[in-house]
Structure 1
Amino acid sequence: MFNDRSTPLSLLATRRSGKPRDLAGPGPSPDQIDRMIALAARTPDHGKIAPWRFVVVEPDRRGAFADLLEQAWLADHPGAPAHERESARQFAMQAPALVVVLSAPVHGHKVPLWEQELSAGAAAMNLLHAAHAMGYAGGWLTGWPAFSDRVRDAFGGADQRLVGFMFIGTPSRPLDERPRPDLAAIASRWAG
C-alpha cells in the first residue's frame, strides 16, 4: 500500500517512484517543500561541507523553465521540429512541484569528490523519502536536461552537476511496483 507510513520500515518499503507526468495536485505547500529540503539536508556529509544545492522552481516560473529547455534544445538541435520543441517544454510542466538538486562539490577539500557526489545523490533520495513521508510521491528525472551545460548554468555554476529534477505531487493513479532485483544477485557475505 503506497501510503503506509505507520513505521519507518513500512515507509521505506512502500516508497514508489511516481511518473512525473502522472503526478497531479494537490502538491506540497512552500512550507512543506522547505521541510522536505531540511530533511534531505540531513544526509551523511563527510566533512560537514554540504556538497549539494536545492533549487525550487516555483509554479509561476515553470513557463520560464520551459522556455529555457526549449532554447537549450534548439541550441543543440538547430531547426528541431515543433514536436521536439514541445517535448522539451512539456518536461518543465510535469507535477505540481519541482526541486532541482545539484552536486556542488567543494574542490580542493580533503573529502574526495566521489564521496561528495555520493552525498548529493543521497540528498536527492532523502528528498524523495521526505515527500513520501508527507503523503506525496516523487519522480527523479535526468534525461538530456541534466547533461546540458545551458540548463546547468541556469541553476548553478560550471563546477556543479545536475543530480536530477525531483517532481513531486499526488499520484493520479496507483503507483506501479517495479520488479526488484533478486537479493542473491545483489548481496553476498564476505568470506575473508
Structure 2
Amino acid sequence: MPPAMDIRSSTADPADPPVTARQLARLLHARHTVLPKRLGAPAPERSELDQILAAAAAAPDHGLLVPWRFVIVPPRQRERLAAVFAESLRERDAAATPDERGRAREKAFQAPVLMLAIVRLGPDDGDIPGSERILSAGCAIQNMLLTATVLGYASALTSGKSLQSVGLRHLFSLDEHEEPLCFISLGTMLAYKAGPERPALERYVSELGPAP
C-alpha cells in the first residue's frame, strides 16, 4: 500500500500539521446537515469565510459562465430578510397567527453566517442548458460545505416557499434570468444530533450491462 499523501493547500500556515488523505476523506464523509437553529458562534472568521467561498470556484463550469453567485446577509440586514419571510407567509396564508409569523421571522436570525445561493439560467449562452448551470451551482455549494467541514464548522441548506416570493426577489435584486436555489447557513454546532444513515452503494450505483 502506498504511503498516505500529505495534503497542504497553497495558503496553509506552515505551522499547521499536515492532513493525510485518509483524514481528509474521513472529514468529508462526516459532513451532515445541522439545522440553522443548532448553529451558533463562533462563526467562520473573514479569512475562513473567504476560503469557503473561494472553494466554489473549483466547481465544474462548462463555458466558464460562473452561473452562480452568493449574497451574504450580514446581521445588520437580517431584519429586512425577516420581514420578507413574514410577509411571504402572510401572502400564502392570510390566517397565519402572530406566533406563526414570528417563527417565520426567526429563521432570518438563527445561523451566524447566512447567504443566498443564486443560479443564472440565461441568456448569455444558449448552448449550455440550464441543467448544467444548476449542476455547476450544486458543485460550487458542495465545495463550500466540504471546506467548511474541514475548517471545523457545521452547515445546512434550507429552502422554503419564501424563495419564490416577490419580496425575496426584490430584496436580493434578482433579474428575470436568475433563480434563488437555497440559503446556506454556517456556524458552530451547538447541539449534536446524529445525521441520517448514509444510503448503501447498491441504492444508487449500477453497472451498464451488455446489449440484450
Q: Same fold (TM over 0.5)?
A: yes
Q: Which residue type is aligned with residue 56 of structure 1?
A: I
Q: Indicate if the aligned counterparts of 2:28 and 2:150 stay in contact, CA closer than 8 A.
A: no
Are residues 1:99 and 2:115 paired?
A: yes
Q: Note the 1:110-125 alignment, pairs <5 A.
A: 110-125=127-142
Q: Note the 1:59-78 alignment, pairs <5 A.
A: 59-78=75-94
| 1:116-157 deviation line (CA, Å, top 9, x unaligned) | 111112212222112112110001001122232421332222
Greater alpha carbon shift after TM alignment, 149-158 vs 61-70: 149-158
CA distance in 2, matches of 1:160, 1:77: 26
Residue 177 and residue 75 in structure 1: after superposition, are their counterparts in 2 closer, same or farther (change >3 A)?
closer
CA distance in 2, matches of 1:35, 1:21: 24
Moved beyond 4 Å, runs of 4+: none
CA distance in 1, matches of 2:103, 2:21: 35
Q: Indicate if the aligned counterparts of 1:5 and 1:133 stay in contact, CA closer than 8 A.
A: no
Q: Which residue type is aligned with residue 161 of structure 1?
A: E
Match of 2:189 in 1: 171
Residue 190 and residue 102 in structure 1: after superposition, are their counterparts in 2 closer, same or farther (change >3 A)?
same
| 1:41-96 deviation line (CA, Å, top 9, x unaligned) | 22110100000010000112112211221122223333521022112101111111
Equivalent position to 1:34, from 11, 35, 50:
50
Q: Which residue type is aligned with residue 208 of structure 2?
A: W
Q: Indicate if the aligned counterparts of 1:131 and 1:138 stay in contact, CA closer than 8 A.
A: yes
In structure 1, stretches of 5+ residues that fail to align are: none
Match of 2:74 in 1: 58
Are residues 1:160 and 2:178 paired?
A: yes
Q: Indicate if the aligned counterparts of 1:11 and 1:133 stay in contact, CA closer than 8 A.
A: yes
Equivalent position to 2:161, from 131, 141, 144:
144
Q: Secondary structure at the match of 1:47?
A: helix
CA distance in 2, matches of 1:149, 1:131: 31
What TM-score comes out, normalization by structure 1 length? Answer: 0.90
Q: Which residue type is aligned with residue 197 of structure 2?
A: P
CA distance in 2, matches of 1:136, 1:158: 34
What TM-score comes out, normalization by structure 2 length? Answer: 0.82
Q: Indicate if the aligned counterparts of 1:139 and 1:167 stay in contact, CA closer than 8 A.
A: yes
CA distance in 1, matches of 2:140, 2:193: 23
The percentage of counterpart residues that share the same residue type is 31
Q: Secondary structure at the match of 1:140?
A: strand
Are residues 1:80 and 2:113 paired?
A: no
**Larger of the two Rg values belongs to structure:** 2
In structure 2, stretches of 5+ residues that fail to align are: 1-19
Q: Provide the alpha-carbon RMSD of the alignment.
A: 1.9
Q: Report the count of equivalent residues.
A: 189
CA distance in 2, matches of 1:96, 1:186: 35
